[in-house]
Structure 1
Amino acid sequence: MHPSIAQRITVLEGLRTRTRQATAEFYQKPNMIAPPLAPRYIVTPVGGNVFDVIERSTGKIITTRTGINAAVSHSHELEAKAQQFNVKQFGKFLSSWTLRFGITLTVFAFFGSHM
């Protein structure tokens, strides 16, 4: 690659990083509401009143539905299901709860042995 192109790519990547950082700092200010996240699932037409529901992050086709209303309602159902409390979130919650409980017991045991 030509050195000037490589330098330009490096500069642009630095600017993109700084832009993301400035945006994050902006939304950390009080009374600033972050914009909603982009939907996880998108509906694309295939043809002949057939629509695919595609996961944006992977580009994988989840289902194919006949009719736009059916496809959009199915994508909304998938969004709602993805936002529910799942096993991974429960594991993180249980782990943090156990850690806090253990620290509390350790503090009580430490102060109880010194009194």
Structure 2
Amino acid sequence: MHPSIQLGNEVRAALRIRSRIATKDLYEIIGRPAPMAQARFIVKPAGVAFFHVVDRRTGKARGFRRDHNEACALARRLEQQE
């Protein structure tokens, strides 16, 4: 990767971290609970009898199951691995 691209990625990662810290501090100051983080993997129906487990960041399917409960279990398992 080109050094300027790498530097830009590192700067953006640091800004994301600082943004999360500032948001957390703001909610502590105002005395309200911080919003819950959204799940990375979601289950979407795909056809008549299939459910896809989709990564929200990339929009790509990471797996599929015929049963909704099994698809949800796969999504939880993938969430724990990441």
Q: TM-score scaled to structure 2, two decimals?
A: 0.63
Cα distance in 2, alignment partners of residues 26 and 49 from structure 1: 45
Query: Tell me, which stretches of 5 or more residues in structure 2 are unaligned?
Result: 1-18
> Any idea what SS the aligned residue of 1:71 has?
helix
Number of residues of Structure 1 aligned to a counterpart in Structure 2: 61
Q: When you count helix as a share of all residues, which structure comes out higher?
A: 1
Please give the alpha-carbon distance, in whole angstroms, between the structure 2 residues aligned to 1:62 and 1:81: 13
CA contact (8 A) 1:42 1:75 kept: yes
Structure number with greater CO (CA < 8 Å, separation at least 6) is 2
Residue ranges of structure 1 left out of the alignment (5+ in a row):
1-19, 83-115
Identical-pair percentage: 31
Q: What is the rounded CA distance, in whole Å, between the counterparts of 2:29 and 2:52 in structure 1?
A: 39
Q: Which runs of 4+ in 1 moved over 3 A?
A: none
Query: Which residue of the partner structure matches residue 47 of structure 1?
Result: 47
Q: Does 2:71 match 1:71?
A: yes
CA RMSD of aligned residues (A): 2.2
Output the amino acid matched with 2:49: N
Greater Rg by CA? 1
